[in-house]
Chains A and B, each alone.
Chain A
Amino acid sequence: MVFLDFEKPLEKLYEQLEKIQQVGEEGDVDVSEMLAEIEQKIKVKKKEIYSNLTGWQKVQLSRHPERPYTLYYIEQLFKTFTELHGDRKFGDDKAIVGGLAKMNGDSMVIIGHQKGINTKMRQFRNFGMANPEGYRKALRLMKLAEKFDLPVVCFIDTPGAYPGIEAEERGQAEAIARNLFEMVQLKVPILCYVIGEGASGGALGIGVGDKVFMLENTWYSVISPESCSSILWRSWDYKEQAAEALKLTADHMFEFKLIDGIVKEPLGGAHVEPENMAKALKRHIKKEISLLKEMTPEDRIQARIDKYSNMGKFIEVEPTPEPIEENSNPEE
């Protein structure tokens, strides 16, 4: 088990638990009472820790090294899955995976950012940072879904679109912009889930949909807390403050009506009980797709445009009247 800094109190309790278990296995001492006691302590401590997570702690959880990624969910959620590669223009991006899948007899197209599970794979997956061909592959698969009238499900988990020379040469900005434009008017249902990190345009590039949900311990923001700290505070040391200021948690996003709902995670995070997380996600997807299928494509598209058009907070001021010229102005 990997313990994050704020989980340290748990680490000690788990160590104690392990020792007691060992003693129990070795001899004939009855440890059941002690075990129950320590388990109760763990339960209480967990509740205490996880019910008051700060923005930064949620960012840490969303990046937990044991957190399930897109391919894990695909394996758990679908009876069959066939991965489809390539954007048919340049190459195959490893940071975005996609393909055809079947859930309870219904076909659908799945697209998601993919991070690596070990050092070698993390490099192979470019840390979940897609190049333009990733977004173009995603769009190709969405068009395939549209042609055969299949719903699209997107899993978002990226620290951002890749900032590199080749990415710029091949039009990172255009690739993301095109996806936003096309996803708004795609005729089939689109469901989006932030399953880890939702950073900036790199997340939004596969994140425009009829319904967008966030798992409980994920974040969504215009910029990562680290980069925000570096730009606005001119130092890397203010990431905690930046995470608070950005109000990037699922609770905030839902309160702001920028997402449509939150999917609860097992206590301690999705990685603690990944199978239960996957089950909850499956139920959620099934229900949401059936709701979206009740609408006509025209209604869905109009609802999407209306939803995004309403995003934004500003004030309106009365037009200032022309200043009335008064002769009594003492300065004249």
Chain B
Amino acid sequence: MGWFKRLREGIQTATKFKKETPDGLWFQCNRCKETSTFKDFKENYLKCPKCAYHARIGSHDYFDLIFDKSYEELFIQYRSSDFLEFNDLSSYQTRIEKAIEKTELNDAISVATGTVMKKPLTIAAMDFSFIGGSMGSVVGEKIAKAIDFCLEYKTPLLIISKSGGARMMESAFSLMQMAKTSAKLTQLARAKIPYFSLLTDPTTGGVSASFAMLGDINFAEPEALIGFAGPRIIKESIKQELPEGFQSSEFLLDHGFLDFIVDREDLKSTIAKLMDYLLIKAI
């Protein structure tokens, strides 16, 4: 018999379930589990200072890494809507609202235009934190609008993919975004405007099977998961273990589907170099 009566359950919380420290102070690596200060993480180009793991970062992190200084965000007016009234364990409407609140983003992609070493570039970057970076109508429309912008202002396009695939809650509408984005890319190709596709962790499903694989240059960050079917689905289908390194950036490079792999530290200089080869003039 204890001397004290436990009034609240919270005291029993194990260390591993304890709330994380406030954002902006510490970075805990998802791979090596080591903790570093956020300052060190940032100075290391948002890679783990201990093991160089390329952490999953957001669209605006990429904008800050790649653009010279300032950039202008475009097409922020688009929002997803639950037009099919899709309900599974939660309603799609709730999922959208929660995602907007949690991420402070408008949807799973952000588009911005700016300069890279004084050369103009438009970037469409995806956010995995927004419903798994899934592609619904808004993602398709923003890519379409970004392509129209590139056609009008003659800027190259960089799409940074980070997505689990199509957004199921928009059913066939999300599927058709694959055709829509590919259709728009034919216009960019015909205008001979360069399209760079950067594949980051993860790029799978409908995103990999459409615009992500259609770059004039396809390149990826190290050790990203890239593939059509997710590893879990393949494992279930063939009922055997998957080989080591299967569907990694390195695996795709080896099989001829990537031009090269780039360290986040060299991302900006690499893009500038590509634009230079393809004769994009400074403004």
Chain A residues within 8 Å of B, Cβ to Cβ: 161, 163-165, 167-174, 176-178, 180-181, 184-185, 200-201, 204-205, 208, 220-223, 227-228, 231-234, 238, 241-242, 245-248, 253, 256, 258, 304-305, 308-309, 311-319
Contacts and interface: CB of A to CB of B under 8 A. Distances in A.
Question: Which residue of A163, A208, A222 has the most chain B CB atoms within 10 A of its CB atom?
Answer: A222
A87 to B, nearest CB: 15
Contact of B180 (A200, A246, A309, A314): A309
Given A177-B209, A180-B210, A222-B206, A204 B179 contact: yes
Interface string B217-244: 0000000001111000110011000110
Interface stretch (B48-56, B72-80, B113-121, B272-280): B72-80
A314 B182 contact: no
B212 A165 contact: no
B168 A232 contact: yes
B163 to A, nearest CB: 12
B144 A309 contact: yes
A308 B83 CA distance: 18
Contact of A313 (B137, B190, B205): B137
A174 B210 CA distance: 8
Nearest to A312: B137
B153 interface: no
Contacts of A309: 144, 180, 183-184
Contact of B176 (A176, A181, A184, A312): A312
Q: What band does the interface of chain B fall in when counting residues whose beta carbon is under 8 Å from A?
A: 35 or more
Contacts of B175: 200-201, 204, 220-222
Interface stretch (B29-37, B86-94, B122-130): B86-94
Nearest to A233: B88
Nearest to B207: A173
A81 to B, nearest CB: 28
Contacts of A172: 209, 227-229
B141 A163 contact: no
B185 interface: yes
B81 interface: yes
Nearest to A201: B209
A243 to B, nearest CB: 11
Nearest to B79: A315
A260 to B, nearest CB: 13
A67 B234 CA distance: 28
A311 B178 contact: no
Given A177-B208, A308-B183, A309-B180, A169 B255 contact: yes
Given A232-B168, A312-B137, A313-B137, A258 B173 contact: yes
Nearest to B237: A163
B213 interface: yes
B174 interface: yes
A253 B226 CA distance: 30
Contacts of B79: 314-317
Nearest to B218: A174
Contact of A308 (B78, B137, B179, B246): B179
Contacts of B257: 171, 173-174
Interface of B: 76-81, 83-84, 86-89, 136-138, 140-141, 144, 166-168, 170-180, 182-187, 190, 204-206, 208-214, 226-229, 233-234, 237-238, 242-243, 246-247, 255-257
Given A163-B234, A163-B237, A258-B176, A314 B88 contact: no
A172 to B, nearest CB: 4
A222 B174 contact: yes
B246 A180 contact: no
Contacts of A177: 178, 182, 208-214
B186 A311 contact: no
Contacts of A314: 78-81, 136-138, 141
A314 B170 CA distance: 10
B21 to A, nearest CB: 27
B228 A228 contact: no
A316 B166 CA distance: 21
A305 B88 contact: no
A248 B174 CA distance: 12
Nearest to B76: A319
Residue in A164, A185, A311 whose Cβ sees the most chain B Cβ within 10 Å: A311
Nearest to A232: B88
Contact of A305 (B138, B183, B233): B183
Q: Which 8 pairs between the two chains have the least Cβ-Cβ distance?
A: A163-B229, A312-B137, A180-B182, A232-B88, A173-B208, A172-B228, A173-B228, A177-B213
B84 A245 contact: yes
Contacts of B88: 232-233, 238, 241-242, 245
A167 B173 contact: no
B247 A168 contact: yes
A315 to B, nearest CB: 5
Q: Which of A164, A165, A314, A316 has most B Cβ within 10 Å?
A: A314
Of residues B80, B168, B184, B211, which shows the largest number of chain A Cβ atoms within 10 Å of its Cβ? Answer: B168
B184 A305 contact: yes
A204 B186 contact: no
Contacts of A248: 171-172
A186 to B, nearest CB: 10
